Structure 1
Amino acid sequence: MCLAESGLSYPCHRLTVGRRSSPAQTREQSEEQSTDVHMVSDSDGDDFEDAPEFGVDDGEVFGMASSALRKSPMIFSFVCFLVPENAENEGDALLQFTAEFSSRYGDCHPVFFIGSLEAAFQEAFYVKARDRKLLAIYLHHDESVLTNVFCSQMLCAESVVSYLSQNFITWAWDLTKDANRARFLTMCNRHFGSVVAQTVRTQKTDQFPLFLIIMGKRSSNEVLNVIQGNTTVDELMMRLMAAMEIFTAQQQEDIKDEDEREARENVKREQDEAYRLSLEADRAKREAHEREMAEQFRLEQIRKEQEEEREAIRLSLEQALPPEPKEEDAEPVSKLRIRTPSGEFLERRFLASNKLQIVFDFVASKGFPWDEFKLLSTFPRRDITQLDPNKSLLEVKLFPQETLFLEAKE
C-alpha cells in the first residue's frame, strides 16, 4: 500500500507513538476498544469530535476516498485550505494563500500577487509595452495526488521561482472547495470567456494543479498555455520559456507600435503647440490692433469734440462782435492789420472806443483763441494779450492804425 492509500492526511500528519503491548494484552484490549491507532491534529483534541459527527466524509478530510479511510471512522485530520471559503475579497484570500503556502512548502516560492484578478490584469497588461509581463495563474487543489510533488519540487524550484519573478505576474487560487471553484469560474468566464472557463471546469481532480499562462493582446486576453500538474521541472521551464518567446515577439511589436504612436502624438502635440502659439500671436496682434484702433477712435472723438467746441465758441464770438464801422464813421476809427502764423493778414476796423477784448474776440473768431496765441506789436515790441482787455484801443495806443502779428504760445 502506498502513502496516498494509507489514510494519512496531506501534506502533513502528526502521530503519537506508544509502547507496544504483549499479545495477551492486545487481545484483551481488542475486546474493550475498536482501535489503538490515534492521529493527532495540530490543535487540541478537546476542540474536535469524530469527523462523521461534523457531517464530513473521510474522503474530504484526507483528500481521497479510499476504503481504508471508510474503515477507520475514528481517524480525523484538520486541513487548513489555502483560500478560505468565506473570504470577503480576493486580496484577503491571497494573503492567507501566501501564508499557508509558505508554511507548507517553505519561503522559496513564486511571489503571489496580492489583490484581485482584475488588479493583476492591470499590473501585467495595462502599462507601457516595455513594462508588460505575462500573467501566470496557479490553480491549486488539495485533493489531487500531484499537488504536493508539483508544489514542492517544481513550483518552488529556484529556477522556476526566479524565472517567474522576472517575467511574470503570478496570481493564485485554491479550487479545493466548491464555493471557491465556482467563484474562480465566474472570474474566468468574465475575463477569458466561456471556452477557457469550460476547459477549467472539465479538468479532473488528478489533473491539478493547473498553470494558466495569459498574455494581454491588444483588446483581448489570450491563454497561451494550460500546464497540468503531471509535468517535470524541465518541461515546466520549457513551456514557460516558449510562452515567454511568444510574448517577447508580441511585446516587440507592441513597443514598435507604441513608439510610432508616441512619435505621431509628439509630432501632433508639437503641431498643436505651434498652432496654439500662432493663434495666440494672431490674437495678441489682433487685440493690439483693436486697442490701437480704439485709442485712435477715442482720440479722434476727443479731437472732434474739441473742434466742435472751438467752432461753437468761434461762432459765438463771431456773432457777438459789434458791426465793423465804416471808414467815414463819425466816431474815431482804428484800423488793425494782423499777420497770422501762416503769413496771411486779417484786417478790420474798430471804433477807437472799443475795448481791447473785442479785438481778442475777433482774433479768436478767426480760429486763434487768445489762450493759445499771443498778439504782439512790433514798434515797440509788446504783448498786447498781457494788457487790460477792458481798456479801449485808444488807451492802449492802437489808434489810428497798427500792424500786429500772432504768435503761438509756448
Structure 2
Amino acid sequence: MVGLDQPHHSLAVKRAPSNKQKEYKRIIVESSDSENSSVEEVEASDGFTGEDDMFVDIVQSERLQPLMSEHVEDEALGCIEFAQRFKARYGPNTPNFFEGTLQDAIKEACLKPAKERKLLGLYLHHEQSVLSNVFCAQLLGCEAVLQTLSTNFIVYGWDLTHPDNNLMLLNSVSNALGTVASMTIRSIPVDRLPALVIIMRVRSNTEIYSVINGNVGVSELVGGLMEALERFATQRDEDARMERERDARQRVKREQDEAYQRSLEADRAKEEIKKQQELERNQELERAESERQMEEARKEAMRASAATRVPAEPSEDTRDVCRIRVRLPPPHNNCLERRFYPHDTIAALLDFLASKGYPQENYKVISSWPRRDLTTESHSSTLKALKLYPQETVMLEERCNKTMDAK
C-alpha cells in the first residue's frame, strides 16, 4: 500500500535538521514469506520520506525507563513494578498483570476447584528484542486479545533483560513447575521474545501447555489463545466431573464415617452405662456384703456377750433342775434343750437363746399353756416363778418387724 517492494525492500534514513519541527506517527511494517511472518514498528513523519529520522528522541526517551529495575530482590515487588511501568509505557489498553509471586499466581489460576480455575499466561519481556514494542503495543493492546486475557487468564509479567532477574524467574519456575518448565523458558531465544507462556492445570499436574513467541500476528496470537482455551475447557469439564464424583464418594464416605462414629458413640454410651450399672451393682453388693459382715459381726458380738452371761448348766446328776425345751421356728424342725436351776431368771433363758442366734429383739419366747410371751415378763423373774419348773416346752416365734425387714 506504501509502494514497498515485497518480499524485500530497502529503506534509507538520516537525521533531520535539529531546527525542523516534525510530528511523528507510528507505522507498522509487515513483511511475510512462505515460512514465517514478522511485524516491525518504526517511528516516521508524515509522508515517510528518506530524509526523516526514525530513531528519534521520543523513542530513546521511552527506553530510558526499563520495565524492571536491575537486581530485583523481592519477586512480588518486582512484579508490581513491572505492571506499573508496563502500563505507564504502553498505555491503559494493556493486560492487568498479576501483582505477586509466581507461586501466588499459580495458586490463583490453577490450584482452585476446577470450575473456578483459569489459565495462567506468563508474559516474558526482553528490552533487547526488536519485537517488544510491536508485540506490547499492537498485539497485547488488541481488544480481542485483551478481552480473552481478562476473561480467561491470570497474566503474570516479568522482564528477562537483566541476568539476575532472568535467573530469579527461572528459579521460581523451577520451584513451582519443575526443571522441565524452567528449561523450556530458558531455551526461548532473545530474538523470539516477547513470549506468552500458557500454563494450565491438567488433572493433578500444573504444566506448560504452549509458548506463543513474539514473531506472530494478531490472528495467530488469538488463535493460539483460543486453542488453549478449548483444550482448557475440555480438561476443566473433565476435572470438574472427576471432582464431583470424588466429592460424592467423599460425601458418602463422610456420611458412613459419621454414622459409624454415631454408632460407635452409642455403643460406647451403652457400654459406659453398662459399666456404670455394673459398678453400681458391685458397689451395692459390696455395701450389702459389708453391711452383712458388720451385721454378722454385731450378731456374733451379741452372741458372745450373751454367752458370757448364761449361767453354768447344772450337771446330769443334779436333782433340782428346770428342764427347758425350746421348739425352733420354721423351717427348723429340731429343738434346743438345756437345764437351768429353778432360781435362774428368765434373762438366763433369753441369754441362752441369744447365744444360739435367737436374740429377743428378733424372736419371742411363747409358753404353751397358758400362751404368753415370756420376753415381756420381768427379766428378774425366776423360771420357777414363771411356772417353767420342773420342765416346760416353749416356742420361738419370729417377730413381725424381722419378717418385714427380711422381705
TM-score normalised over the length of structure 1: 0.69
> In the superposition, relative to structure 1, how do residues 408 and 145 fare at CA in structure 2: closer, same or farther (>3 Å)?
same
Deviations 1:209-248 (A, max 9, x none): 1100011234533211111223333432322221122122
Q: Does 1:405 align with 2:397?
A: yes
Q: Which residue of 1 aligns with 2:324?
A: 335
Deviation at 1:352, TM superposition (A): 4.9
CA distance in structure 1 between the partners assigned to 2:204 and 2:229 by the alignment: 19
Letter in structure 2 aligned against 1:254? D
Q: Aligned equivalents of 2:387 and 2:268: distance in 1? A: 64
Matched, 1:309 2:301: no
SS, match of residue 241 in structure 1: helix
Distance, in Å, in 2 between the alignment partners of 1:361 and 1:166 is 110
Larger deviation, residues 311-320 vs 256-265? 311-320
- Aligned residue in 1 for 2:101: 116
Name the residue aligned to 1:65: none
Contact 2:145 2:222 in 1 (8 A): yes
How many residues in Structure 1 have an aligned counterpart in Structure 2?
Answer: 353
- Tell me the SS of whatever aligns to 1:243: helix
What is the distance in 1 between the residues matched to 2:166 and 2:125?
Answer: 10
Question: Which 5+ residue runs of structure 1 have no aligned equivalent?
Answer: 9-15, 21-36, 38-67
1:138 alignment partner in structure 2: 123
2:247 to 247, 259, 262: 262
> 1:391 pairs with 380, 388, 391, which one?
380
1:149 to 120, 134, 138: 134
**Is the CA contact 1:334–1:352 (under 8 Å) kept in the aligned structure 2?**
no
The letter of the residue matching 1:111 is N
Q: Residues of 2 paired with 1:312 and 1:244: CA distance?
A: 100
Pairwise mapping of residues 289-304 of structure 1 onto structure 2 (< 5 A)? 289-304=274-289
Using the TM superposition, name which of 260-269 and 82-91 deviates more. 260-269
1:220 pairs with one of 205, 219, 222:
205
Q: CA 1:395–1:230 in 2, change beyond 3 Å: closer, same or farther?
A: farther
Moved more, 278-287 or 202-211: 278-287
Kindly state the Cα deviation for residue 100 of structure 1 after the two structures are TM-superposed.
Answer: 1.2
Q: Does the CA-based 8 Å contact 1:334-1:393 persist in structure 2?
A: no
Q: Return the alpha-carbon distance in structure 1 between the equivalents of residues 359 and 112 of structure 2.
A: 84
- Over 3 Å counting, the alpha-carbon distance change for 1:195 and 1:295 in structure 2 is closer
Deviation, structure 1 residue 270: 3.0
Q: 2:73 aligns with which of 88, 103, 107?
A: 88
3-state SS of 2:399 partner: strand
SS of aligned partner of 2:107: helix
Residues 2/248 of structure 1: CA separation in 2 closer, same or farther (3 Å cut): same
Whether the 8 Å CA contact 1:354–1:393 is kept in 2: the answer is yes
Q: Work out the CA distance in 2 between the residues paired with 1:398 and 1:301.
A: 48
Match in the other structure for 2:154: 169
Residues 109 and 156, structure 1, Cα contact 8 Å, conserved in 2: yes
After alignment, is 360-369 or 144-153 more displaced? 360-369
**Secondary structure, aligned partner of 1:226:** strand
CA change 1:366–1:284 in 2 (3 A) is farther
The answer to whether residue 257 in structure 2 is matched with residue 272 in structure 1 is yes
Of residues 236, 239, 246, the one that matches 1:251 is: 236
- Offset from partner CA, 1:312-364 (integer Å, 9 cap, x none): 44763685444555899555637364663658675544545444444444444
Partner AA of 1:119 in structure 2: D
Q: Distance in 2 between matches of 1:281 and 1:380?
A: 69
CA distance, structure 1, for counterparts of residue 15 and residue 304 of structure 2: 131
Q: Which residue number corresponds to residue 282 of structure 1?
A: 267
Q: Deviations over 1:283-310 (max 9, x none)?
A: 3333443444444444444444424526
Unaligned runs of 5+ residues in structure 2 are 1-8, 23-52
TM-aligned CA deviation for residue 375 of structure 1: 2.4
Counterpart in 2 of 1:179? 164
CA–CA separation in structure 1 for the residues paired with 2:14 and 2:171: 36
% identical equivalent positions: 36
Q: Cα distance 1:368–1:271, how it changes in 2: closer, same or farther (>3 A)?
A: farther
Letter of the 1:316 counterpart:
A
Q: 1:208 is matched by which residue type in structure 2?
A: L
Alignment partner, residue 160 of structure 1: 145
Are residues 318 and 287 of structure 1, via their aligned partners in 2, closer, same or farther at CA, if it must alter by over 3 Å? farther
Cα separation, 2, equivalents of 1:4 and 1:165: 41
